[in-house]
Copies of this chain bind each other. A is one copy, B any other.
Amino acid sequence: MPTYTPPLKEMEFILHDVLKVQQSDTPGYEDLDVDFTGAILEEAGKIARDVLAPLNEVGDREGCVLENGVVRTPKGFQQAFDTLREGGWTGLDCDPEYGGQGMPYVLNAAVGEMQAGANMSLNMYPGLTHGAYSAIHTHGTEAQKSTYLPKMVSCEWTGTMNLTEPHCGTDLGLLRSRAEPQEDGSYKITGTKIFISAGEHDMAENIIHLVLAKIPGGPDGVRGISLFIVPKFLINEDGSLGARNGVSCGNLEEKMGIHGNSTCVMNFDEAEGYLLGAEHKGLRAMFTMMNEARVGVGLQGLSQAYTAYTNAAEYARERLQGRAATGAANPDGPADPLIVHPDIRRALMDQKAFIEAGRAFLLWGASMIDAHTRKGDEAAHGLVSLLTPVMKGFLTDKGFESTVQAQQVFGGSGYIEEQGMSQFVRDARITMIYEGANGVQALDLVGRKLASDGGKHVMAFFELVKGFIKENEGNEALKADFLDPLKAASKDLQAASMFFMQHGMKDPNAALAGSTDFLHLFGHTCLGLMWAQMAKAALEGLESNLPDTRFCENKLVTGRYYMQRLLPETGLRLARITTGATPVMALAAEDF
């Protein structure tokens, strides 16, 4: 059965040597010294390894069961969830006014990677609650905040997002759920929602659904959508639980993976709901959740890749098959370990080089989210909103691919469920789909984010890359191996952006046909930037004669692998992009 190995050293390196969080003037970062982050990450790592990970396979095997309207979660989930609650982990970065710990998001993201990596299904229950917490925290009235947030911070109550309906997923303008205004200011919500993660389960006293619905008489399409708070149990004036609301789970979906999370069909039958935010502005409020959730899903994709990778590396060191082409490496044994074989190493290096830079990318993104929320840095906000579809789309496409490579290392055993590698592949697969399928992320990136504010944010990204290269071009150890390839990738990205500007105005399809390629081109450039920054930090570490020179040397080796073997994909992506709309659009629909 797979095990979980907390990447403590990796995270510490990114926080302190790459991002240098303590040198930041973001409020709250002054507390993030090595001892403090070390203590938090170590404790979170222990829980991930010892409490969450052993239940991952249980969740997959048992799944959730719906009986008489009640959803039973897998054995042990409740106790593990209690461990998270009791340790205050569910409110790590939440507002202290409502019982949160008030820590920066960057630390929460690191902890979140471990929790998701150990048990993605279980982690979704607090994860979705956090999204609902954020939406209420941002858009709720004082009364709503004081009613819901304390219980959601502690996860005594969990939360959900109710968007999708049977006939509409991405295209929310089509949704049919309606909200009839009542005399007391509340609404009666009626409709059916599907694919509702954690929509019903037995691990919380109450479930707070955030539901998109239309108030009759409002504008058509997405402009007429409002967001409502619909608790499973109504809440009495004194805060105690009242009557059961008109919301119930009609069915559980049988899915390819994340069996430990309940994916519900939710029926709203004149359920009592309360407007969250302004009438008809529901989508904006929902996007507070969505953007947060998208970064979180990128993190999930990466987390599955990481756990699958560590288990594959372990297997490759232990399993004896064949002999090294250059002579026996284990002459006294019946065969050499798999890891002597170049193609096995190639697969492991692909994974490792992606994962380490992907983690840096996410934590860098998280630090920009902190810069925005904690000191109002609008430039950071602009950059992170540009990069959110990249974090979601690229890290989950590559994260899934990485789990497939990890499974492949196991040969036939990887296909057997008992071995546990299939679960990483099946669980990671959803990350490419939910919170906006990756094609939608690519559309968001190219069709919306790229040109927003006159292209200011992408220009800021290019400046950042250029600035880093310029600042370090005297560093000979960095130049050929890291700065030059980064410059080439960035040039490809600029050329692609330019192509879109020149052709996209005349024909939007000329840009959209290349949207997924652009997302990958962008993702690789970001990871190239991360590797250049990590390499710089590793070189500094070597110069300062830190005791762990091996860690720094390995960083450089892994980084060079990325720059030499993976980053050149930007050229191929650019070549595809510049073929424009014709190859993609030429065929009639009926000829597919």
Contacts and interface: CB of A to CB of B under 8 A. Distances in A.
B561 A416 contact: no
Contacts of A321: 168-171, 174
Contacts of A169: 321, 411-412
Interface string A234-264: 0000000000000000000111110000000
A256 B341 contact: no
Given A433-B415, A579-B564, A348 B170 contact: no
Given A253-B416, A415-B256, A416-B253, A583 B349 contact: yes
A432 B415 CA distance: 10
A473 B225 CA distance: 60
A341 B564 contact: no
Nearest to A579: B564
A411 B558 contact: no
A291 interface: no
Interface in A415-473: 415-418, 422, 425-426, 429-430, 432-434, 437-439, 442-443, 447
Contacts of A437: 408, 411-412
Interface residues on A, range: 35 or more
A344 B571 contact: no
Interface in A539-577: 550, 554, 557-558, 560-561, 564-565, 568-569, 571-572, 575-576
B439 A513 contact: no
Contacts of A375: none
A361 to B, nearest CB: 21
B429 A425 contact: yes
A75 interface: no
Contacts of A560: 583, 586
Interface of A: 164, 167-171, 173-174, 194-195, 253-257, 313, 316-317, 320-322, 325-326, 334-335, 337, 339-349, 352, 400, 404, 407-408, 411-412, 414-418, 422, 425-426, 429-430, 432-434, 437-439, 442-443, 447, 507-509, 512-513, 515-516, 550, 554, 557-558, 560-561, 564-565, 568-569, 571-572, 575-576, 579, 581, 583-587, 589-592
23 contacts: A174-B334, A174-B335, A254-B417, A255-B416, A255-B422, A256-B415, A256-B417, A257-B415, A316-B592, A325-B447, A342-B509, A346-B584, A347-B516, A349-B583, A349-B584, A408-B432, A412-B437, A415-B429, A415-B434, A564-B579, A564-B583, A565-B583, A569-B572
